[in-house]
Amino acid sequence: MNRTTTVALAASTLALAAAVPASAHITVKPDEAAAGSYAVVDVRVPNEKDDRGTLKVELQMPPGVSYAAYQPVPNWRVAVTRRRPAKPFSVEGTPVTSEIDTITWTGVGRRGVVAPGQFVQFPVSLRIPDGAEGSKVQFKALQTYEGGEVVRWIGAADAELPAPTVTLDEAEEEHGGHGAAAAGSTEAAAATPVAAAADDDADDDGGDALPIVLGAAGLVAGLAGLGLALAGRRRTA
């Protein structure tokens, strides 16, 4: 093997080694959202250790998250804490006096462990903070492993342990708030009677057609009987 090949292989190995930790970061997906909107994000937590599992994940909310709701994940207990906003802000004209501080997921039993080579995903519905288009908000995370080691994902984007971030898009002029899902359900419910009415109309059409067909058949039979009776009278005469 010549020197050029050796150097190339070494460089490739270093590149792969550098890529592995990067791929093991805790992330929030999607990583873009409209400022001030309500969105569902997935907190993705991969296990970056080869010899121990993840037992707990703490997600620290940036300022301005006035609302958050979590989707239950089997074998994980959830705790949500709130705080008083350091900087006053309003949502739809209403002053906010309490915002989300942290969401903590703690594994329960042996099934509540993210083993080596695995990842877990925690869906969260929340209000995205207000901010300028293109700015980034951090969702700092602490990852606790078996044995008590805590990995702090709180750094800048180019740090060894970067915090999960979301880039803010242009604020929406109107959005459905955390009731958007309910509004969608209402629309679906409203659509259902329309479909049912269409089915009822189809059934009614079929029901009206049957008497018409039977009436026509009776008329034909009556005319046929009349014809036979007239023919019999002619023969008798």
Q: Are residues 213 and 156 in the same domain?
A: no
Q: Are residues 111 and 188 in the same domain?
A: no
Range of the domain at 154: 24-175
Q: C-alpha dihedral over 211, 212, 214, 218, to 10 degrees? A: 130
The verdict on residue 99 lying in a domain is yes
Per the structure, how many domains does the chain have?
A: 2
> Which domain-ending residue is among 146, 175, 204?
175
Strand (E) or helix (H) holding 180: helix 180-236
Phi, psi of 186 (to 5 degrees): -65, -40
Q: Are residues 160 and 198 in the same domain?
A: no
Q: Are residues 131 and 193 in the same domain?
A: no
Q: C-alpha dihedral over 141, 142, 143, 149, to 10 degrees? A: 160
**Contact (Cβ atoms closer than 8 angstroms) between residue 126 and residue 91:** no
| Greater model confidence, 56 or 193 | 56
| Average model confidence (pLDDT) across the chain | 77
Q: Are residues 143 and 235 in the same domain?
A: no
Q: Are residues 143 and 195 in the same domain?
A: no
Q: Are residues 32 and 91 in the same domain?
A: yes
pLDDT given at position 194: 36
The verdict on residue 9 lying in a domain is no
> Which domain-ending residue is among 175, 192, 227?
175
CB neighbours of residue 194 within 10 Å:
9
Q: Are residues 163 and 75 in the same domain?
A: yes
Q: Are residues 154 and 168 in the same domain?
A: yes
Strand (E) or helix (H) holding 33: strand 32-34
pLDDT given at position 218: 53
Q: Are residues 51 and 135 in the same domain?
A: yes
In eight-state DSSP terms, residue 170 is P
How far is the C-alpha of 61 from the C-alpha of 128, rounded, in Å? Answer: 10
The verdict on residue 97 lying in a domain is yes
Strands 32-34 and 165-169, by their bridges, are parallel
Q: Are residues 36 and 127 in the same domain?
A: yes
Q: Are residues 121 and 155 in the same domain?
A: yes
pTM, to two decimals = 0.65
**Contact (Cβ atoms closer than 8 angstroms) between residue 75 and residue 111:** yes
How far is the C-alpha of 129 from the C-alpha of 140, rounded, in Å? Answer: 15
| E strand residue ranges, 109-191 | 119-127, 136-138, 140-145, 150-153, 165-169
> pLDDT tens for residues 96-148?
999 999 999 999 999 999 999 999 999 999 999 999 999 999 999 999 999 99
Amino acid at 125: S
The verdict on residue 4 lying in a domain is no
pLDDT given at position 23: 53
The encoded tokens of residue 143 equal: 């990852």
Whether residue 30 has a cis bond before it, omega within 30° of 0: yes
The verdict on residue 17 lying in a domain is no
pLDDT confidence band for 171 (50 / 70 / 90): confident
How far is the C-alpha of 110 from the C-alpha of 66, rounded, in Å? Answer: 34
